[in-house]
Structure 1
Amino acid sequence: MTDPSPAKRRPLSLDEYFEGVRAGAIATLARAITLIESTNPQHAQQAEALLTRLMPHTGGAVRVGITGPPGAGKSTFIEALGLQLIAAGRRVAVLAIDPSSSLSGGSILGDKTRMPRLAAEPGAYIRPTAAAGTLGGTARRTRESLLLCEAAGYDVVLVETVGVGQSEALVSRMTDCVLALAMPGAGDDLQAIKRGLLEVVDIVAVNKADGALLPAAEVTAGQLRNALASGDAEHDALGARVLLCSALENRGVDAVWQAVEQHCAHAKQTGALHARRAEQLRHWLWERVDERLCEALHAHPAVRALRTEIESAVTEGRLSASEAAGRVLLALGLEDSGAK
């Protein structure tokens, strides 16, 4: 469903945002996500009010985090999977996180061009977002964007992360299942998966298992099974599964999705899914508390008065960073002057 007048760019009221999102209006959903991503303090109150109204209409989607090293074929896999799901009557939202430049903040945001067939489907919504320096392979408001997509009626939400590594574990704090894509002959990428995702990965799919790469894919799958067997799989009584697939040839993609559904069904039956989502909400709460405290600290008059002096003292070597931090907290009344 689309908005009656998608070109209209006047500010929307809270009711208009709510009704548009609930109706599945793509233009309103896009504007709502832009609203919650905004760093403008004037937008924060409306964004929070919108999320509060929409929360009762969330929670009905299968949430899947998809990670993997560059070149593993994440976009190709997501497009193949998304087209299969839409053909089966599902509505699919893709939150694609693109890396940002640490200098300019710029980002390619090219996932719509990498998934042209999926982007053209009425039952699909693809939202590319710049990571903008956020660690964990996700963006600043990925969790909130996921909830908006659920409220808009999407029953599958795929979160495509920036890459793979230790920080990628954050995606497990907002999804029901973490799927890691690997390449044949993974080498160092296999080591990255072992270091960073053993404790959170639920399913591993060795992509590009076709043609001349098939033997190498089978070897890589065996290595991954051995690595996962020696890891800690207490988070999932089923243990992580390793499968082969070829997104390019559209083979094995359905089996990967079947494994995702089996994982989620088992987690729901045992109560693990409820516990996982509850823990995610607790993490979200304290993440926002930390964020608000940091913002309040930097905006505090006492800190602003000290900033130039304290920064100069540190950069000139007259004061250690730890001592300077103590003085900031002392100015806020959060540290006892006689504690040292």
Structure 2
Amino acid sequence: MTAGPVAEPVPEPIPAPAHARRRLRGLWLAAGALALAGAAALSLAFGARAVAWADVAAGLSGRVDTLDAAAVAVRVPRTVLAALAGAALGLSGAVMQGVTRNPLADPGILGVNAGAALAVVIGVAWFGIESVEAYLWTAILGAAAAACFVYAVGSLGRGAATPLRLALAGAATSIAASSLVVAVVLPRNDIAGGVRAWQVGGVGGASWEGILPALPFLLAGFALSLISARSLDQLALGEELAAGLGVRVARARAVAALGAVLLCGAATAVCGPIGFVGLAAPHLCRLLVGVEHRWLLPVSALAGAILLLLADVAGRLAARPAELDVGLVTAFVGAPLFIWIVRRRKVRAL
């Protein structure tokens, strides 16, 4: 007798839990995009003067024949800047937490924002920089110098840089940089007012002239950060195991860190140092989509944009007809979050 035809093996179906997780993450990503559109709409409609939705549509279409429509047209660059800066800070925070394997990593806590601010203040006070391009390059160089300094200090002594060492080194660097800013500005009454207002961190007075020069730096930072997602997942396994998988550890860290520095420096140059967005957004998103960076990074960018937009709206409504700078609002919200993270009994590994 001849054997019957052998049936071809049927590929195993994708396990339901993994498929369900991917579907849930996709839903969170879509929900984040919708929430970002809603936050942008609120930013256009509410402020010192509430605007009807019909006037919002008129202002977006370019018709400024009414006072409310003209107000909307003025708010458009402010809304765009808040979304870009929030996305940059949220994404850079997630990348920094992945590079350092430190759940407390944040551009503000690690002293990167303070380094960028100090560089800009020195540039203004000693070298008379005025153009947006000069602000951008100076802030990025200052952010890079601060990041390198913090990592070097955290690596001193026995063993590699630990999360606690990096947090302490970043806090000390941030305090020192802030003190140096005061020392530089104190004898310069001609620039003191403008520097202090910028140092609080805000998106008021945004214009396309200030946003457009920052776009190349932001786009480069977004690209470098997002393409580092896979290497960040491998680095989370440990340096030795990542190297065994073929990852060039130093190169992977340098590429990811460069992306984070570009994002922090550009956002700080245009908006001033804004804290806690890079800490709050990744932690919230890690609860929603998990620790896989190909999902965590884009969702953190969306969450950062939403957070900064809502903080800007809250600052405008809380002190109407005046307004609170967004840096004050994020500090008010982020400080309790930082204390909660520090006081947790066990911080999950990244």
Give the structure-1-normalised TM-score: 0.23
More relative contact order in 1 or in 2 (CA 8 Å, sep 6+)? Answer: 2
Structure having the larger proportion of residues in strand = 1
Write 1 or 2 for the structure with the bigger share of helix: 2
